[in-house]
Structure 1
Amino acid sequence: MQKGQFLMKRDGDGYIYNTGNAARNLEYKFKLGETFTDTGYDGKQHKITISVEGDKLKEVHFNLERDTGGEDVFFYSIQNGNLISPFEQMVEI
């Protein structure tokens, strides 16, 4: 299990979101539900939208430099003071 940091705080009518691990740290300034362009963990430019869906935080990345299309979607929730992000293994048949 990889551990990293995840800090989010209010900044006027938006938020500042710091995330990372020993290899890479990122900071995003955003408003919920509004798409912005910034660098992803892969060092490439992404269109990113962060919103709330029910009791989960949803983070959607569209890599602007990737040859194949598609979005990467991450969900986060807090359980017992820990940030949880579930993963599913997708297998093509």
Structure 2
Amino acid sequence: MRAIGLVLFFCAVYIMADPIPDSFFGRFKVDRSENFDEFLSAKGVGFLTRQIIKLASVTKVFAKGPAEGSYTFENLSSKKNVKYDFKLGEPFTGEGLDSTKHEITFNFKDGEVTEHHKRLDNPEFTPETYHYTMSDDNKELIMRMTNNGITCKRFFKRQDS
């Protein structure tokens, strides 16, 4: 009976989830940041490491996946590349940029894609959620992150026309 309940719950979540709009699909390269150094500092990242992270080239790619209702997300950087294949609202295990296993869930609601990470190897570590919105002209992907009361934004310019 419990299994039937879970199946119905996931079906309801899938049916209720809005699809990601086409405006999010494309390749976006980091252009600028607001409050990023303060955000990294609040996470406990040391000065030298922060400087390296801030200089890293980062590209984010959202695309429709091969199956109905599926998507792909790539985070490409000079340090490491990760690619996730997912369906909205369905948690999956993937490798984070920190090379550890994460439980990751993507959702879309009210014009915002969220990417939620929970580290499986370190459950005491505070889970993180990244919020993505599009600029009014759809030329920038805007990523918002918060840690210990410090919020930063990173702006990614669309690379494809």
TM value normalised by structure 2: 0.52
Contact 2:129/2:145 (8 A) holds in 1: no
Q: How does 1:57-68 map to 2 (within 5 A)?
A: 57-66=113-122, 68=124
Contact 2:104/2:117 (CA < 8 Å) preserved in 1?
Answer: yes
What is the CA RMSD across the aligned residues, in angstroms?
1.7
Report the identity percentage. 23
Q: Normalized per residue, which structure has more strand?
A: 1
Aligned amino acid, residue 70 of structure 1: T
Q: Does 1:82 find its partner at 2:136?
A: no
* CA-CA distance at 1:67 after TM superposition: 5.1
CA distance in 1, matches of 2:131, 2:146: 12
Aligned counterparts, 1:1-93, within 5 A: 1=33, 2=54, 3-11=57-65, 12-13=67-68, 14-66=70-122, 68-79=124-135, 80=137, 81-90=139-148
3-state secondary structure, aligned to 1:87? strand
Q: How many residues align?
A: 91
Structure with the larger helix share: 2
Q: 2: CA distance between counterparts of 1:67 and 1:87?
A: 20
Return the alpha-carbon distance in structure 2 between the equivalents of residues 48 and 54 of structure 1.
20
Query: Bigger shift: 10-19 or 42-51?
Result: 10-19
Q: SS of 1:43's equivalent?
A: coil
Gaps of 5+ in 1: none
Stretch of structure 1 that moved more, 38-47 or 75-84: 75-84
